[in-house]
Amino acid sequence: MAKLKSTFKNMFLSLFIISLVVAVLLAQVNKMTAKPIAAAKALKLENAIKEVVPEFDNNPVEEAYKMPTANGDSLLVYPAKKGDEVVGFAVNTNSNNGFSGNIQIMVGFDMEDKVVNYSVLSHAETPGLGSKMNDWFRDTTKPNQVVIGRNLSEGNLSVSKDGGQIDAITASTITSRAFLEAINKAYAVYKASDADSSATKQNNTDEKQEEEGGENNE
C-alpha cells in the first residue's frame, strides 16, 4: 500500500477525525455523569432546606415557586409544612455585591419573622476572610454578629459600620454587606409569601363556611 503524502489536506483530515472521536467520547462521559451530578445537586438543595427551616413533612422542592423582588428578578421559595400548616419558608437568595461577585444563600424563616438558619450555597470570596460567612453569622456565642433568631419585622439587617446591628466579618465588610443584602432580599420575599399563604388560608376557610352554610340552608 502506497504511503500517503504528508499534505495539508491529509493533516486536516487526521485532525478532524481525532477531534470527532474526542467529541464523541466527551459526549458519552457527559451523558454518564449528568445524572449523578444532578442527583448530587438535588441532595445538596434538600439538605440546605432541611437545615434552615423548622421540621416539616411535605416536599418543599416539589412545591417551590418563584416570587418577584423589588429589583426585578425573582427568588425561589420553598414552603415547609407540617400537615396542612405552613411552618416556615426557605428562600434561595443572592447578592452580586460580594467582594468577588455573586453570593448565593439558602435562608429560612419561621412564621414569626425570625431567621431560623442559613446555608451558604456558593461564593467566590477570599478564603480565610469573606469565606468565614459560612459560620460567622451563626455563632450564638457572639450575639453582635449572629443573624439566627433575628426578627426582621423590626427592620432590615446591616453592619454596625453602617449604623446597623451586625458586626461585620473582620477585614471583610464588603462580603458582610452582600451577605446581609441577600438576607434582607429573602425576607421581603418571605413576607410576600407569608401574606399569600395567609390569604389563601382565609379564602379556603371562607369557602368552607359558605359551603357549610349552604348545606344548612337546604
Domain membership flag for residue 36: no
Domain membership flag for residue 117: yes
Is the confidence at residue 187, as pLDDT, over 50?
A: yes
Output Rg (C-alpha) for the chain, integer angstroms. Answer: 25
Is the confidence at residue 63, as pLDDT, over 70?
A: yes
Contact 90, 183 (CB under 8 A): no
pLDDT digits (tens, 9 = 90+) for 36-51: 566 667 778 999 999 9
> For position 196, what pLDDT does the model report?
67
Which is it for strands 74-82 and 85-98: parallel, antiparallel or unpaired? antiparallel
Domain membership flag for residue 35: no
* pLDDT winner (highest mean) among 5-9, 33-37, 150-154, 194-198: 150-154
How confident is the prediction for the chain on average, in pLDDT? 85
Domain membership flag for residue 108: yes
138 grid coordinates: 451563626
Lowest mean pLDDT among 67-71, 124-128, 158-162: 67-71
Residue 126 per-residue DSSP state: P
Domain membership flag for residue 109: yes
Domain membership flag for residue 131: yes
Task: Report the number of distinct structural domains present in the chain.
Answer: 1
Section 83-110 average pLDDT: 96
The model's confidence at residue 33, banded by pLDDT at 50, 70 and 90, is low
pLDDT digits (tens, 9 = 90+) for 161-178: 999 999 999 999 999 999
Collapse the DSSP code of 43 into the 3-class scheme (helix H, G, I; strand E, B; otherwise coil) and give the result. helix
Domain membership flag for residue 88: yes
Q: Which domain holds residue 180?
A: 51-204
Domain membership flag for residue 189: yes
